[in-house]
Amino acid sequence: MINETESQDKTISGWITFISVLVPILVALLLFMPSKVDIGKEWVYFLPHLNAVINSAATIALLSGVYFIKQGKIIWHKASMTTAFGLGAVFLVSYVIYHASAESTSFGGEGWVRGVYYFLLITHIILAAVALFPILWAYYYGYTGKYSKHRAVVRFAFPVWLYVTVTGVVVYLMISPYYNH
C-alpha cells in the first residue's frame, strides 16, 4: 500500500520528468523553426541584455544560498534559492520569447577565442538542457523538508546550475558585440 507521501512523490516525479523533457524539446524547436513569430520585433532585441542581468542575479542568488546555508540561516537560504528559481523561470520565458521571434546571432570572433566561445556555448547548452531535472528535484525536496534527499541532489544540481548561469553571462558578453540591434 502506497502512503500519501509516496503517492505525492510519484505524482511530482511524473511532472518533473515531463517538464524536464518538454522544456528542452520546445526550446530546440524554437531555435530551429523555419520562420519566426512576429510579435512587434523591435522590443525583443532588448531581451538578451535582460537575460544576462537575470543570469547574473541568479548567480548571486545561488552563491548567497550556499553562503546562508553554511551559516545555518535556513530562512535566508530558502529565500535565496526561491529567488534563483524564480529568476530561472523568468529567464526561460524571456529566452523563449526572444528565440521564437528573433533570428540567431552568429559569433564573429576569430582565432582561439572562437574555440573558447563555442566550447562555452556547447557546454552551456548541454548542461542547461539537463539541469532542469535535478534543479526541480532539489527545489521540491527542499520545499517539502526532505533534506537528506535535497542535499544528495544538490551535490549535482548546484554546480551545474551555477555553471549554466555563469556561462550564460560569459557567452552573452562574448556575442553581444555581434548583435545587429
What pLDDT, on a 0 to 100 scale, did the predictor assign at position 152? 96
Domains of the chain: total? 1
Q: How far apart are CA 105 and CA 94, in angstroms?
A: 16
One-character DSSP codes across 65-80: HHHHHHTT-HHHHHHH
What pLDDT, on a 0 to 100 scale, did the predictor assign at position 181? 60
If you ran DSSP here, which 8-state letter would residue 25 be given?
A: H
The pair phi, psi for residue 71, each rounded to 5°, is -90, -5
CATH code (residue 90): 1.20.120
What pLDDT, on a 0 to 100 scale, did the predictor assign at position 113? 95
If you ran DSSP here, which 8-state letter would residue 43 be given?
A: G
What pLDDT, on a 0 to 100 scale, did the predictor assign at position 42? 79
pLDDT digits (tens), the chain, 181 positions = 567 777 788 889 899 999 999 988 988 887 777 777 777 667 888 999 999 999 999 999 999 999 999 999 999 999 999 999 999 999 999 998 888 888 888 899 999 999 999 999 999 999 999 999 999 999 999 999 999 999 999 999 999 999 999 999 999 999 998 887 6
- Domain of residue 32, residue span: 4-178
What pLDDT, on a 0 to 100 scale, did the predictor assign at position 2? 60
Q: What is the model's pTM?
A: 0.88
